[in-house]
């Protein structure tokens, strides 16, 4: 097997290999561009041959200073697993170094496991990621009115002092201006925490609950409504997520099937940690493809709170001062 530099006389050969390369990249986030003779004439193009027959090709773009961008690496199926791709990469790396470039950059499709394994063996590391979204779904999310988010945290303990200490220690680290936190007396074995910043930002609600669970060693539950549209709860045990529910799993965008399944409440796990009736959890923690297919969020979050046996789980920070015995902590 030999590797040589392609020239203008190899345009038809390169076109045939490029078309076969395109046929195998149906999973790519965007289809490769149609073949143009400039791929050969304006770039570094290297052809691998066996017994005078072309069995592979690779290209490198040297338009950017400091590095060469490798693309279009292709080996005929019958010639794979014989070191041809490695030989092409060795020669293209040599050509890039001779041109004075210090780095070699390439992109690889997430689903192309064989190519990813090759590049990993050659020492390539993640430096950037290409992300994609369907335009219709993206426009829907970008133009969707931002609704109100609110939520609460419930710690499975009667030790109010331990919860207050954890709140005083960690809450000041949350970003943003805050009007404080509120900690309630135990109700049905749960101490509730309402924080102004976490109430408005579901991400901070999650962070605070995880930290409180970790510091108290107790089960912690977040429960709330996001963007006036979806209901979410998360259960933590000693700081680790053990169950999560989102009423519309793909509300924020498409997800892999496994991630969708992970956002369906597990009634057995929830029952073990909260004492709830599994049948009640299963009955209220339904999911749909649209918020319109579920009860109104305020109604749904109240149903979930009742099923989980947590009082005060259907409202947020603004309503907390009305709870008898609630203790306010200034930030």
Number of domains in the chain: 2
**Percentage of the chain with pLDDT > 70?**
97
Considering the domain architecture, whether residues 240 and 306 belong to the same structural domain is answered as: yes
Question: Domain check: are 100 and 187 in the same one?
Answer: no
Kindly state whether residue 240 falls inside one of the protein's structural domains. yes
| Pick from 145, 146, 148: nearest CA to 317 | 148
Cα pseudo-dihedral 98, 100, 104, 105, rounded to 10: -130
CA–CA gap between residue 186 and residue 184 (Å, rounded): 6
- Domain-located, residue 91: yes
CATH of the domain at 10: 3.40.630.30
Judgement on whether residues 264 and 154 belong to the same structural domain of the protein: yes
Contacts 24+ apart (CB under 8 A), 280-287: 280/306, 280/307, 281/307, 281/308, 283/307, 285/245, 285/247, 286/247, 287/246, 287/247, 287/248, 287/249, 287/263
Residue 22 tokens, joined: 């395109």
Query: For the residues 36-40, what does the mean pLDDT come to?
Result: 92
Same-domain status, 192 and 73: no
Asked if residue 45 is part of any domain, the answer here is yes
Regarding whether 158 and 103 lie in a shared domain, the answer is: no
- Is residue 193 within 8 Å of residue 183, measured between CB atoms? yes
For the beta carbon of residue 260, count every other beta carbon within 10 angstroms. Answer: 14
Alpha-carbon gap, residue 255 to 54, rounded angstroms: 41
| Domain membership flag for residue 261 | yes
Tokens of 187: 């109700």
Min mean pLDDT across 71-75, 256-260, 268-272, 274-278 is at: 256-260
In this predicted structure, the answer to whether residue 140 has a pLDDT above a threshold of 80 is: no
Is 70 exceeded by the pLDDT of residue 267? yes
Q: Is residue 24 one of the residues assigned to a domain?
A: yes
Structure-block tokens of residue 89: 């990469």
Provide the pairing of β-strand 219-226 with 191-195.
unpaired
Q: Both 298 and 191 in a single domain?
A: yes
258 and 206, same domain (yes or no): yes
Look at the chain and count its residues: 331
Cβ 46 vs Cβ 4: under 8 Å: yes
Last residue of a domain, one of 121, 138, 155: 121
Cβ within 8 Å of residue 145, ≥6 positions away? none
Q: Is residue 31's pLDDT more than 70? A: no
Assess whether 152 and 298 both reside in one domain.
yes
The answer to whether residue 161 sits within a structural domain is yes
Q: Does the pLDDT value for residue 109 go beyond 90? A: no
**Band of residue 26 on the pLDDT scale cut at 50, 70, 90:** low
User: What CATH number is given to the structural domain containing 250?
Assistant: 3.30.70.1270
What's residue 29's pLDDT? 58
Tell me the two tokens of residue 267: 């009634």
pLDDT of the residue at 318: 85
174, 289: one domain: yes
Residues 311, 180 share a domain: yes
pLDDT of residue 28: 58
Do 64 and 150 fall into the same domain?
Answer: no
Model confidence band, residue 288 (pLDDT cutoffs 50, 70, 90):
very high
pLDDT digit string (tens) for 224-263?
999 999 999 999 999 999 999 999 999 988 888 889 999 9
Q: What is the pLDDT of residue 30?
A: 63
Mean pLDDT of 306-326: 87
Does the pLDDT at position 286 exceed 90?
yes
| Gyration radius (Cα) of the chain, Å | 28
Asked if 226 and 295 count as a contact pair (C-beta separation under 8 A), the reply is: no
> Per-residue pLDDT tens for 185-210?
999 999 999 999 999 999 999 999 99
Last residue of a domain, one of 105, 121, 137: 121
Q: What domain range includes position 58? A: 2-121
DSSP-derived letter for residue 195 is: E
Mean pLDDT of 107-114: 86
Which pLDDT does position 247 carry in this prediction? 97
Token pair for 11:
């345009």
Domain identity same for 114 and 167: no
Is the predicted pLDDT of residue 329 greater than 90, yes or no? no
> What pLDDT does residue 201 have?
93
Q: Would residue 295 count as lying in a domain?
A: yes
pLDDT at 27: 55
Other CB atoms within a 10 A radius of the CB of residue 252 amount to 12
| Mean of pLDDT over the chain | 91
Helices and strands: H and E segment counts in the chain? 12, 12
- The answer to the question of residue 127 being in a domain is no
* pLDDT value at 283 more than 70: yes
């Amino acid at each position: 097997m030999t590797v040589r530099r392609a020239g203008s006389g190899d345009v038809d050969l390169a076109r045939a290999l490029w078309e076969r390369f395109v046929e195998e990249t149906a999973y790519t986030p965007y289809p490769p561009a149609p073949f143009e003779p400039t791929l050969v004439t304006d770039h570094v193009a290297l052809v691998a041959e066996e017994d005078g027959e072309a069995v592979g090709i690779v290209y490198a773009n040297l338009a950017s200073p400091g590095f060469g961008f490798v693309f279009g690496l292709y080996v005929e199926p019958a010639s794979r697993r014989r070191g041809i791709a490695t030989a092409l990469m060795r020669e293209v790396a040599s050509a890039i170094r001779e041109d004075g470039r210090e780095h070699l950059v390439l992109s690889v499709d997430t689903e192309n496991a064989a190519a990813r394994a090759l590049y990993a063996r050659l020492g390539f590391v993640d430096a950037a990621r290409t992300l994609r979204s369907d335009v219709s779904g993206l426009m829907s999310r970008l133009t969707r009115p931002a609704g109100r988010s609110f939520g609460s945290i419930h710690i499975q303990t009667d030790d109010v002092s331990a919860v207050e200490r954890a709140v005083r220690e960690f809450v000041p680290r949350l970003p943003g201006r805050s009007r404080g936190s509120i900690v309630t007396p135990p109700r049905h074995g749960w101490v509730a925490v309402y924080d102004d910043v976490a109430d408005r930002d579901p991400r901070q609600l999650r962070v605070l609950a995880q930290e409180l669970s970790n510091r108290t060693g107790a089960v912690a539950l977040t429960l709330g409504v996001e963007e006036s549209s979806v209901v979410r709860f998360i259960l933590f045990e000693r700081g680790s997520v053990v169950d999560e529910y989102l009423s519309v799993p793909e509300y924020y965008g498409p997800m892999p099937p496994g991630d969708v399944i992970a956002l369906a409440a597990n009634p057995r796990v929830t029952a073990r940690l909260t004492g709830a009736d599994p049948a009640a959890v299963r009955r209220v923690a339904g999911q749909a493809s649209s918020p319109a297919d579920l009860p109104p969020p305020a109604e749904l979050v109240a149903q979930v709170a009742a099923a989980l046996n947590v009082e005060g789980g259907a409202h947020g920070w603004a309503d907390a001062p009305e709870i008898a015995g609630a203790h306010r902590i200034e930030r």
